[in-house]
Amino acid sequence: MESILTSIKKLLGIMPEYTHFDADLIMHINTVFSILQQLGVGPAFSITDANTTWSEYTERTDIEMLKTYIALKVKLMFDPPLSSVAVDAYTKQIAELEWRLNVAVDPGEPQS
């Protein structure tokens, strides 16, 4: 079982044992979970510590991009890059992932 907080910290380059920013990261992660719920991608959900795992959020294994999406959104909130070019690149990746996540959970009508 992989911890949500620990995996996001890893993607942000923060060692798991370094807990100084955990409260900030948890707040940002929960914000992204709220965004995902509003997008129709997942249920209402929040974490309180490093004990909450991905399988508690979703049993789906076909949308691994959730982790990348959450990490990018948290990165922009917690430690945004100084370069506007990098911010723009992150923003474009986030927009694409939002679209792809929407398609993954609601593929629409099959084409004939």
pLDDT tens digits, one per residue of 28-78: 999 999 999 999 888 999 999 999 999 999 887 777 889 999 999 999 999
**DSSP single-letter state for residue 12:** T
Q: Is residue 25 part of a domain?
A: yes
Angle CA(42)–CA(21)–CA(59) in degrees, nearest 5? 25
Domain count, the chain: 1
- Give the whole-number percent of the chain exceeding pLDDT 90: 77
**Residue from 87, 69, 64, 57 nearest 32 by CA:** 69
Give the pLDDT score at 25.
Answer: 98
Residue 87 belongs to domain spanning? 4-105
What is d(CA 95, CA 89) in angstroms, rounded to the nearest whole number?
10
Q: How many whole angstroms separate alpha carbon 34 and alpha carbon 30?
A: 6
Model pTM score? 0.90
| Assigned domain for 110 exists | no
Is 112 among the domain residues? no
Mean pLDDT of the chain: 91
Mean pLDDT for the stretch of residues 99-105: 89
| Lookup: tokens for 65 | 């991009």
Task: Give the pLDDT mean for 71-98.
Answer: 96
With cut-offs at 50, 70 and 90, classify the pLDDT of residue 1. low
Rounded-to-integer distance, Cα 97 and Cα 102, Å: 8
- Tell me if 73 sits within 8 A of 98, measured CB to CB: no
